[in-house]
Amino acid sequence: MSKNLPFTNIALAFSGGGYRAATFSLGALSLLEKVGLLPSVSAISSVSGGSITAVKYAQSLIDDESFDKFYNEYYQYLNEDTLGDNALGHLKNKKLWKQKENFHKKRNVINSYAIEYNRFTKHRTFGNFDDYAKKETSTLKRIIINSADFTASNTFRMQNLLTPSYDFGHGKLCEEYKEFWRKIKLGDALGASACFPGAFEPIRYPNDFVADQAHLKAIGLMDGGIIDNQGTSSYMTVKKKNNKHNLFFVSDVASPYVYEPYEFTKSNFITRLSSVLANPWGMLLIVTMTIGFFIKQWWTLYSIGLLISALMLGIQVGLIWASRELKKEASFRTGLKLPSSKIGYYLLDRLNSFLHMNSIIFLKSARRGHANFLYERYPDKSITSTIYELRCKEGKPEFSRVWKYVKPYIGDIPNEIKNISEKVAKFPTTLWFSDAHKQEGALDDLIACGEFTACYNLIEHIVAQNKDEIGTNSEIGQLFENLIGLWKEFAVNPKYLIHFRLGLQP
C-alpha cells in the first residue's frame, strides 16, 4: 500500500483473558493476514492471555517461518491443550530445575509455567527479536509484553529497544536492571504478563529471568491486566505529534458489563462452621471432652479432639492478637470483639469484596479509562474488535454507532455468527479447555469469532472513515471489496477461514 493511505503502519493490542484472549487474537491475526494487512503491522502490545499469541508470532518471525506454519503449529498446541499438565509436570521434575537454563529460577508454579512457555517459544529472546526487527525485510518492528510491577505500581514493559525512544521496564527502573534486556526470554516475559493474582505467586525480576543477577533486589511482577488489560497504554506514552501509526487495532475479550453484581454473604456451611470454631464456650466444651477421651484411653477420639482443640485455641489467640494490634495501631480505646456467630460473615464479606474490587471494579474501570484515552487521542485511527459485539443487541452489533450505514453493505448479522459470539463471550478466563468445551468445539469458535469480528470492524471503519473510497479502484476500495467477499463467506460458514487454513472442507 502507498504511504499516504491508512493501514500502512498498524499497531495491534491484544487484551488479557486467558485462552479466550489467545484464540480471539489469533483470529484477528489470521484475518489481517488473509486480507494482506499483516505486513503493515509494525507493533504489537499484549497483556496476559493475549501475550501467548504475541510471543508465539514473534518467535515465528525470528525463525523466518511462514504464517501458515505459525498458524498450524499454534493451533495444534492449543488443540492438544497440554500447557497445564506440562507445567505441573515440570514442578515435580527435580532434574529440570538443576539444568543450566533453569537453576537460577525459584521452584514454584509460575516458573513451571515459564519453563513451558520458553519451550513453546523455542527459548527465543528479545535480543533475537531485535536482530530480526533490524533487518530491512522485517515487518514487525516492536513487540511489547506488558506486566505489572508490584514494587513501583507501574506497567512493566518488556520490549525490544530498536530505537532510543523505547524503554525497557519503566522510567523508574534503575539502569542496572535494564542492561541485560537482550537476554530476557519471550517465554519468561509471557510468564510475568500472564501471572494472575491468586492463581500464581509473583515472578521475580531479574532473578527468575537471567542468571548471575542475585545481587539485585528482586522486583515482583504479575499480570499486566491489573493495570491495563488492553495493552493500549504502551502506545500512549508517545506524544501525539510523534506517533507514526495510522491505525490502532485492539483485540479485546473483556466485557464492559458486570454480570454478577456484588452480593453479601448469606448463611452457609463456612459461616456456621466458623461460628462453632470461634466460640470460646465451645472450645472449653471440646477441651473437656478431649480430657475425658484421654482418661478413657479412647485414642482415636482423643486425637481428633486434640486437633480440634488446637484449631479452636489458635483461632482464639489469633482474634485476641488482631484485636490488640488494631487497638495499638489505631489508638483505639476499645478492642475489636465480634460475636462468634458473625466471624464467618466478617471474613467472607471482606474476602468477597476484595476479589470483586480486583477482578471487576478495578479491571473494568481501568479498561474504560484506557479505551477512552485511545479514542480521545486518535478517534479516526482506532478500531476495537470485541468478542461480544456481534451477538447483537436491539438488532445491531453492540455499541455500533454507524450500523445504519454498514447494514446496506452486509445485511443483517447472520444468526450463526450471533450464536457463536454469544457462546464464546461466556468462555471463562482459563489456560485450558474443559472436556465440555472441547466437545463443543470452543477452540474453533473462539478463533472464528476473532476472524469474523475483525472483518466486520474493518468494514465498519472504512464505511465510517473512508466511504468515498468504496466502489473505486483505490487500494482502500479494493480492500473493502475483499472484506465484503470474506464477510459473505463468513455469513455462509463462520468457520470458513479456519477450514481454509487447516485444509478442511467447509
Q: Is 299 exposed, middle or buried (0-12, 13-18, 19+ CB in 10 A)?
A: exposed
- How many other C-beta atoms can be found within 10 angstroms of the C-beta atom of residue 60? 20
Q: Is the backbone of residue 411 left (phi > 0), alpha (psi -120 to 50) or beta?
A: left
**Could you give the angle at which helices 475-492 and 442-465 cross, rounded to 10 degrees?**
140
- C-alpha torsion sign, points 441, 443, 444, 446: positive
Residue 257: which residues within 8 A CB-CB, separation 6 or more?
none
Grid coordinates representing 253 are 475479550
8 A C-beta contact, residue 74 and residue 81? no
Span between the terminal Cα atoms of the chain, in Å: 31
User: Which H helix or E strand runs over 461?
Assistant: helix 442-465
Pairing verdict, β 247-252 and 10-14:
parallel
Distance CA(351)–CA(274), nearest Å, equals: 15
- Can you give the pLDDT at residue 203? 97
pTM metric for this prediction:
0.84
**Cα–Cα distance measured from residue 190 to residue 206, given in angstroms and rounded to the nearest whole number:** 14
d(CA 160, CA 60): 16
Q: Give me Rg for the CA atoms of the chain.
A: 27
Query: Can you give the length of the chain in residues?
Result: 506
For residue 396, what is the DSSP state? Answer: B
Which residues touch 366 (CB under 8 Å, ≥6 apart)? 227, 228, 229
Query: According to the model, what pLDDT value does residue 22 have?
Result: 98
Supply angle C-alpha 452, 377, 368, rounded to 5.
65
Q: 219 forms bridges with which residues in the sheet?
A: 205
Pairwise CA distance, residues 5 & 468, whole Å: 13
C-alpha 430, offset from chain centre: 9
Q: What is the pLDDT of residue 238?
A: 83
Under 8 Å between Cβ of 30 and 71: yes
Question: What local confidence, expressed as pLDDT, does residue 260 receive?
Answer: 56
Dihedral through CA 194, CA 147, CA 241, CA 8, nearest 10? -30
Helix, strand or coil for residue 16?
coil
- Intervals of the chain under pLDDT 50: 1-4
Please report, for residues 252, 271, 367, the alpha-carbon distance to residue 260 in angstroms, rounded to integers and kept in the order given: 20, 22, 18
Q: 250 pairs with which residues across the strands? A: 13, 384
Q: Return d(Cα 387, Cα 21) in angstroms, integer.
A: 9
- Give the dihedral sign, CA 490/496/500/505: negative
In the DSSP assignment, the letter for residue 402 is S
Q: What is the DSSP letter of 236?
A: T
Q: What pLDDT was estimated at residue 473?
A: 93
Between CA 501 and CA 29 the distance in angstroms is: 13
User: In this predicted model, what pLDDT tens digit does every residue of 397-419 receive, in sequence order?
Assistant: 998 999 999 999 999 999 999 99
Pairing assessment for the beta strands 41-47 and 10-14 based on DSSP bridges: parallel
- Coil vs helix vs strand at 106: coil
Question: How far apart, in whole angstroms, are the C-alpha atoms of residue 196 and residue 261?
Answer: 22
**What per-residue confidence (pLDDT) applies to 266?**
80
How does DSSP classify residue 249?
A: E
